[in-house]
């Protein structure tokens, strides 16, 4: 899922302090699971903003709404009848949701309420770690299902490098060396000979380096 | 034991402190509570294993939010005791009461009153 973290309330307040009708817009998908932008967080942010503005002596109307998703037209349409009641929207969905809401409601300022971080997994309660960078050319089949693109600091495809020590990366002793993980996993799978084959040059044009990406599925298009 | 605790304290019963959400604490402040303290079982004694630990984290979250909006995180706290420990319950109640007396009324309550007085004044002026 897409992992995000809450922005400090002070930062959000500073962004919306001049508006008098503000809609806090949550998303029921990834940001709900990582407890950064779901219905509950909408309630918390709205409550904090209401109390802050009341203290400041400003009469500010704070609306709360959580959509099933903010990255789909049909769900964003659900706020069409109420959007005109607000001067600004604070979207606490991921960056995709913020942008899609802004595209949909062109004349309405939409501000982000979370920092979108990465595509990751929920390792333990309150712990999320990066697993995928969406490079567009998945090589997990030959790396024991452990991604060197997202989990190796250098993104090297034939590792480990000289910075690997005792299974940890030189950038931080708490970070596992992805290539050590790959070797351990291939060994456990009895496929260590695959490690011996040199990974060819990767086509990075499908990665972010090739500019904004797009998927067009003719089989699905209407 | 016939112990008494400050009359300013209103008890809201929950089946386990794990039921208490940060949002409940925030709503209490929005409604004018001067302080909120969550009294859970002793750490390690939760019937549901982690209810009181969850509550502790949520109290910390509320504390952080209240600090960031100028209400004061010192108005909220988590206490742990055994359900049969009446004297400790009274001690925590008295401590919380003293803490809130020192902090003064919830600024939200004052702001809401001020707003209501201003609105009543302007309505009066308009009708007069």
Nearest to A48 among B21, B26, B115 (CB): B26
Please tell me which residue of chain A has the smallest CA distance to B112.
A54
Test mutation, B21, B65, B75, B119, chain A, max A CBs within 10 A: B65
Residue A121, pLDDT score: 96
Minimal Cβ distance to A44: which of B65, B70, B107: B65
Q: Among B51, B33, B31, B32, which Cα is nearest to B41's?
A: B51
Please give the pLDDT value at position A209: 84
So what's the pLDDT on residue B28? 97
3-state secondary structure of A107: coil
Q: Which of A14, A44, A60, A126 to mutate to probe the B interface, most B CBs <10 Å?
A: A44
Of B117 and A95, the one with more pLDDT: A95
* CB contact burial A162-193 (16+ within 10 A = b; e otherwise): eebeeeebeeeeeebbbbbbbbbbbeeeeeee
Beta strands A61-67 and A21-27: pairing type? parallel
Q: What is the pTM of this model?
A: 0.93
> Has residue B88 got a pLDDT over 90?
yes
User: Which token pair is A194?
Assistant: 């695959």
* Interval A195-202 mean pLDDT: 91
Looking only at the bridges linking them, the beta strands covering A21-27 and A88-91 are parallel
Two tokens at A200?
Answer: 């060819």
Q: Is A107 an 8 Å CB contact of chain B? A: no
Please give the C-alpha separations between residue B50 and each of A41, B82, B88, in angstroms, as whole numbers: 22, 15, 22
Whether chain B has a CB inside 8 Å of the CB on A47: the answer is yes
DSSP A8: P
User: Max alpha carbon distance in chain A (Å)?
Assistant: 70
CA distance A134 to chain B (A): 33
β-sheet bridge partners, residue B40: B80
Cα separation, B70 vs B73, in Å, equals 8
pLDDT (mean) for B79-96: 95
B70 touches chain A (CB under 8 A): yes
Q: What is the pLDDT of residue B120?
A: 82
User: Quick one: pLDDT at residue B128?
Assistant: 60
Query: Mean pLDDT throughout A82-91?
Result: 97
**B27: closest CA of chain A, how far (Å):** 7
The complex scores an ipTM of: 0.91
């Amino acid at each position: 899922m897409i992992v995000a973290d809450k922005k400090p309330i002070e930062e959000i307040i500073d962004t919306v302090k001049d508006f008098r009708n503000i809609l806090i817009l949550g998303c029921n998908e990834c940001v709900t699971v990582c407890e950064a932008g779901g219905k509950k967080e909408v309630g918390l942010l709205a409550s904090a903003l209401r109390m802050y503005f009341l203290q400041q002596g400003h009469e500010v109307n704070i609306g709360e709404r959580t959509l099933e998703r903010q990255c789909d037209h049909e769900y964003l349409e659900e706020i069409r009848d109420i959007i005109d009641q607000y001067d600004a929207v604070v979207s606490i969905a991921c960056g995709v949701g913020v942008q899609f809401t802004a595209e949909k409601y062109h004349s309405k300022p939409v501000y982000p309420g979370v920092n979108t971080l990465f595509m990751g997994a929920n390792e333990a309660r309150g712990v999320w770690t990066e697993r995928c960078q969406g490079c567009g050319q998945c090589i997990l089949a030959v790396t024991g299902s452990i991604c060197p693109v997202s989990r190796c600091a250098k993104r090297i495809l034939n590792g480990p490098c000289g910075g690997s020590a005792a299974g940890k990366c030189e950038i931080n002793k708490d970070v596992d060396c992805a290539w050590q993980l790959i070797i351990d996993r291939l060994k456990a799978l009895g496929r260590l000979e695959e490690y011996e084959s040199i990974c060819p040059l990767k086509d990075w044009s499908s990665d972010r380096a090739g500019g904004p990406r797009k998927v067009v599925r003719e089989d699905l298009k209407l | 034991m016939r112990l008494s605790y400050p009359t300013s304290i209103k008890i809201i019963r929950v089946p386990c402190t794990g039921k208490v959400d940060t949002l409940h604490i925030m709503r209490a402040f929005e409604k004018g509570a001067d302080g909120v303290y969550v009294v859970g079982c002793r750490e390690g004694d939760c019937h549901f294993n982690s209810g009181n630990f969850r509550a502790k984290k949520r109290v910390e979250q509320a504390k952080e939010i209240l600090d960031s909006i100028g209400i004061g995180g010192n108005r909220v706290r988590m206490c742990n005791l055994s359900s049969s420990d009446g004297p400790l319950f009274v001690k925590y109640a008295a401590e919380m009461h003293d803490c809130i007396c020192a902090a003064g009324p919830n600024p939200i309550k004052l702001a809401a009153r001020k707003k209501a007085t201003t609105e009543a004044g302007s309505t009066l002026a308009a009708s007069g």
